[in-house]
Structure 1
Amino acid sequence: MTDQNEIGKDGQIDRREFVVKTALTTGFALAVMPIAHSAISTNLSGIEASDVLVPVGKDKIPAYQVIPTGNGPFPVLVVCHEIFGLHEHIRDVCRRFAKEGFFVIAPNLYYRQGDVTKLNDIQEIMAKVVSKVTTAQVNADLDATLNFITASKKANLTQKNIVGFCWGGKTVWLYARHNPEIKTGIAFYGPLSSKSAVQPQSAIDIAPELKVPVLGLYGGKDKYITWDHVAQMQKELDKGKSGSKIIVYPEADHGFFADYRESYNKKAATEALEQLILWVRKHKGR
């Protein structure tokens, strides 16, 4: 498992380490302040992190890339950020996944519509940014992200996986339908029944069509994604042949993996990370 809240092996914090730890107070979205004391900081020991630009047509979208040291190639894990964008929590999660042996890249899927990290609340984020981000745009950006890493010899392109949180969790369900070539998807508490003008289909709508095995990780105390939603989703998944399944942690709430929030549930988060790794390993030969 990952080593977190660390100091370098020599007992000193170098400049890059300082940048990571300073980000705990400067890199989070305004809408999530104040930050809970449980927020995790993962250091850069054994991994290499960089900000990169992913070409998408005439645009270039920012992304955060983290790769284990060593020759690889490493299985790929694309990270879809939560509603608060590519802020410090998601970047830290990328570092944790890299320490588990993944080539990790998280594109900023809101880049064209605006910087949600500077907005004050969810309602403002929804109105000014999220309501303008189409499924077609997101799928194209994720396609471009996977194409971008083909130049890296450290990426195992036969082992492409995708994981997402909240808004990014729904993105995983939809992208798994869009791109049947990925090995697996892992959706942390992604909305199952929601639709909008820019996302006209829900996860439930496309569930029977899936060919990619997706693991859904949900909280039993989630007031937004209810047990009824989960039961309906599993029923639709069972109509198809993807082998997708959902695990519900009865005592966990929405956002149980988000260690910087009061909703954090360490037990559920730890078990969910273990399930993610097992899921990827199980389907690597698919």
Structure 2
Amino acid sequence: MSESPTGSLTATTVTIAGHDGDEIEAYLARPAGDGSRGGVVVIHHMPGYDRATKEITRRFAELGYDALCPNLYSREAPGAAPDDAAAVARANGGVPDARLVGDVAGAAAYLRALPTANGRVGVIGYCSGGRQSVLAVCHLDLDAAVDCYGAFVTGTVPEGVPLKITNLVDQLPGLRAPLLGLFGAEDTHPSPRQVAELGRILTDHGKDFEFHSYEDAGHGFFAVNRPNYNVAAANDGWERIAAFFGKHLGS
């Protein structure tokens, strides 16, 4: 990483070319300075493109990366408040997988075109975004991926879940980059059994991965604005993310 010695950063809203060339909104955060550095695509959670996710994006800039969070709900609810946009997206069955891959591809291309880019781009996602991070790195040439408690990477999607998705078991053999997984042992989606299944599949296919589970943490333990926030798990998780991206995306 080429962290700014002053800790200064800039953050702004930009327009990028997403799936099929659609123009979508995205939040870009960059450290000060013109040194060469990696990029991080941040995939927001199901509640949407909200303040907490933008804070996470700025944190990656503070760590020394160009970070970009595409608004996956730009098409369904342009300009809407995050909760309203998320409700519309849920009613439509969520973000289609093919569109997600296209939007992440557009975000990665945007980052790689920045004058500070070193060519390496990672992806990270939380909750639904954790599954989508794994999905993206099964189809795109990225350099690293982080799955923060992504549900339905393995296992069966229960009836009544308002998302038109399947698990990713048949796509996991195509995983193209190292994967870091961070999970809560008290979580049910994904459950420890589903995390273990994911580990077995990746091991069987010779993939590069590392998983960490936190005994006293449930789903959403990184979410500082939600009851499940777990200080110890989140702090350790951030240290592991910084080390992982430093290894695979560093300048």
Find 2:121's aligned residue among 160, 177, 194.
160
Using the size of structure 1 for normalisation, the TM-score is 0.76
Aligned to 1:20: none
Q: Is the 8 Å Cα contact of residues 208 and 239 (structure 1) preserved in structure 2?
A: no
State the structure with more CA Rg.
Answer: 1
Distance 1:206 1:136 in 2: 13
Which residue identity does 1:228 align to in structure 2?
R
Distance 2:223 2:150 in 1: 13
Using the size of structure 2 for normalisation, the TM-score is 0.86
1:65 counterpart = 2:65 = no
Superposition RMSD on alpha carbons, in Å? 2.3
Distance 1:93 1:141 in 2: 19
Structure 1 segment 209-220 matched on structure 2, within 5 A: 209-220=174-185
Deviation at residue 116 of structure 1 after TM alignment: 6.6
Aligned to 2:3: none
Deviation at residue 239 of structure 1 after TM alignment: 0.9
Q: Is the 8 Å Cα contact of residues 73 and 89 (structure 2) preserved in structure 1?
A: no
CA offsets 1:2-33 (integer angstroms, 9 cap, x no match): xxxxxxxxxxxxxxxxxxxxxxxxxxxxxxxx
Distance 1:169 1:137 in 2: 16
Percent identical: 28
Deviation at residue 45 of structure 1 after TM alignment: 5.6
Provide structure 2 residue ranges, at least 5 long, that are not aligned to the other structure. Answer: 1-5
Deviation at residue 112 of structure 1 after TM alignment: 1.3
Aligned to 2:205: 240
Aligned to 1:189: 149
Deviation at residue 61 of structure 1 after TM alignment: 0.2
CA offsets 1:105-162 (integer angstroms, 9 cap, x no match): 0001121123472439x8x456424x142110111111111222333112222x2100
Deviation at residue 278 of structure 1 after TM alignment: 1.3
Aligned to 1:171: 132
Which residue identity does 1:160 align to in structure 2?
V
CA offsets 1:236-267 (integer angstroms, 9 cap, x no match): 11111221122111111100000001100011
Q: Quick one: higher RCO (CA 8 Å, sep 6+), 1 or 2?
A: 2
SS at match of 1:187: strand
Aligned to 2:75: 112
Which residue identity does 1:147 align to in structure 2?
A
